[in-house]
Structure 1
Amino acid sequence: MESRLIDVLQPIKDNDYQLPENQSLQELTTMMLQRIGSVHPILRDDLIHSIFTTFIERGHYSHEQLKNILQSILNKNYLFYRIGTSKREEDAVFKRSFSVLLIPPIIVKHRKSPFLKEEEIHRVWENLKKYMKQESDHRGYVEGKGWAHAMAHAADALYHVAACEEITESQIKEILPIIKDQFLIDHPYLFDEEERMVTAVMMMFKKISPADRIEWLETLLYYRESWNDPKEDIIINNSKHFLRALYFRMLEGDHRELRQVLENLLRELRKQEAY
């Protein structure tokens, strides 16, 4: 089935993403959704994702169709597919990760020409918050299968939804601790996940007070419990990388106070290093 779908999709991409006259858009969409989590990197990433994104950007879908796609991916068969039961070595993460990556182009379309109700934006946000709490497969690039990159894709979605005027200060403050919990883990982030999440955080910072920003930043300071546990070194490194990425992003703009906070936190983290 995957090879047949590649045979259908590759000519569409090669022909500047033009839908053939004899091809039903609805039928094609259904086929792409069914294989959105394929472990075949060309089918999943180069074809399905790029075609979905381009079709959305170019207005191939009506607002009602976009709503239906969004509603489809926010359920247990896509965004939450086997999220609590699949093992890290399994492939369920690809379906979750590439479902969440469909959110940004839809939200971009909404922000240009609003078609989602306030409660629908809130529903997307609540599902992202729930997803962020539950995702435990933090792999970036998987040999032979391509990008899983769940946390980077989630960051992209958080950035675009946080930019919506419907998202409130209190909603931002609810998700920031979850982001902290996802980055202070004993699995190393190796593929710029912190950079993608910092982009989202910078957007969120626009909606909360300076005092709330500082309060959250201070939660990213990890205090070592044992000098004999190498897992803690990974957590400390993740914290350092996140804080450094945020610091350098704040070199642009009027962020002097926050930069000073970050410098102090990074100095304190040095004390937690094992060398």
Structure 2
Amino acid sequence: MDKQFWFEIRDHQYAVPEGQSAPELTEELFSYIGSTDPELRDAVGYETFANWLDKRQYTPEHLRAYIPRLVINLQEGLGERDTDSVFLRAFSVLFLAEIVHTDNKRILLEREDIFSIYDKTLAYLAEEQDPRGYVPEKGWAHALAHTADLLSVLVTNRFLTRVELENVLNAIAEKITTPIDWVYLHGEDDRLVRVIVAANQRQLLDEFFMKQWLSAFTAPRRHKWKGSFEDPSRHHAYVNTRNLLRSLYLQVMQNEKLFNRDYLAAEVLKTLQNLRQF
């Protein structure tokens, strides 16, 4: 199918063409996930899949069959840097996010389906090495932001308990404080904060955990912030950490309905004040 075929579907509010079925056409959409053409990958592949999910074009059996295929994609080229394989990984994450989002609205999946996504997503968060946001001519890679989008729907899923929520927040702290030769500039901090806020709104995370979790930003496991301005990779991690905490503080202050808001505001501010390189 050419792009015009898909754009006509879009122009007709994603109605499935007569004589066709969404699951059959989805096989072609899946071939676009790793495309370096941003129109095919994003405007056609992702947006069509998301709209067909919303229009209930897939059965639970279809979704269960898609999950392992998408999860396997997260391993393709994992560990590479600045290669086109990132598009397959990052957009497979988005497809998974749409599946989980759909399950959150309409119960379709079993516990093992959600946990297969949850386990692989945490591993992927730790192991993805390509930090690029927007790639000239090829469009958005945005692996970290897309992973945050998936985590934000996972933490609201009925099957995740306090333990899993704590694991997600700990994984975010570990990722953002890890030395790196990159400063995230494309809204990754805001997307990660959505995960934190969504997890907090489950009202399963107590003050003791949140205090301990915030301490991981001022005292990372593997290094110290003192003197990090002399080491570019640690300095970049410091800036990424500070940006995340600032974004979190802003969201806490703006959200009057946030669970445990006053406590979080005080603790996040204290964490920012204790985040020092000197």
- Check if 1:81 corresponds to 2:76: yes
User: Which residue of 2 is the match for residue 178 of structure 1?
Assistant: 171
Would the aligned equivalents of 1:41 and 1:146 in 2 still touch at CA under 8 Å? yes
* CA distances 1:19-52 after superposition (whole Å, capped 9, x unpaired): 1113343331111112211110111111111000
Distance 1:51 1:120 in 2: 23
Counterpart for residue 237 of structure 1 = 239
Distance in 1 separating the partners of 2:130 and 2:158: 31
Work out the CA distance in 2 between the residues paired with 1:228 and 1:82: 32
User: Which residue is 1:188 aligned to?
Assistant: 183
> Is the CA contact 1:57–1:105 (under 8 Å) kept in the aligned structure 2?
no
Distance, in Å, in 2 between the alignment partners of 1:22 and 1:7 is: 18
Partner of 1:107: 100
- Could you tell me which of 111, 122, 135 is aligned with 1:129? 122
Question: For 1:167-192, what per-residue CA distance to the aligned partner results, in whole angstroms no more than 9, with x for missing partners?
Answer: 01111222322211221242111011
1:91 aligns with 2:84: yes
- Alpha-carbon separation, structure 2, partners of 1:268 and 1:81: 39
Q: Which amino acid aligns with 2:136?
A: E
Deviation at 1:160, TM superposition (A): 0.6
**Aligned counterpart for 1:212 among listed residues 209, 212, 217:** 209
Whether the aligned pair in 1 keeps the contact of 2:228 and 2:238 (CA below 8 Å) is: no
Q: Structure 1 stretches (4+) deviating beyond 4 angstroms?
A: none
Q: 1:63 aligns with which of 60, 63, 68?
A: 60
Instruction: Please say if 1:54 is aligned against 2:51.
Output: yes
CA distance in 2, matches of 1:67, 1:249: 35
- Once the two structures are TM-superposed, the CA of residue 9 in structure 1 deviates from its matched residue by 1.5
Match status 1:272 vs 2:277: yes
1:142 matched residue in structure 2 = 135
- Structure 2 unaligned segments of length 5 or more: list them: 220-224
Identity, in percent, stands at 29
Deviation at 1:227, TM superposition (A): 4.3
Shift of 1:226: 4.5
Structure 1 partner of 2:269: 263
C-alpha distance in structure 1 between counterparts of 2:3 and 2:217, whole Å: 44
TM-score, normalising length: structure 2: 0.89
In 2, distance between residues paired with 1:113 and 1:120? 14
Equivalenced residue count is 265
Give the superposed CA RMSD: 1.7
Provide the rounded CA distance (Å) in 2 between the counterparts of 1:144 and 1:111. Answer: 35
Distance 1:219 1:198, change over 3 A: same
Question: SS of 1:219's equivalent?
Answer: helix
The residue that corresponds to 1:246 in the other structure is: 248
Distance 1:22 1:131 in 2: 39
Gaps of 5+ in 1: none
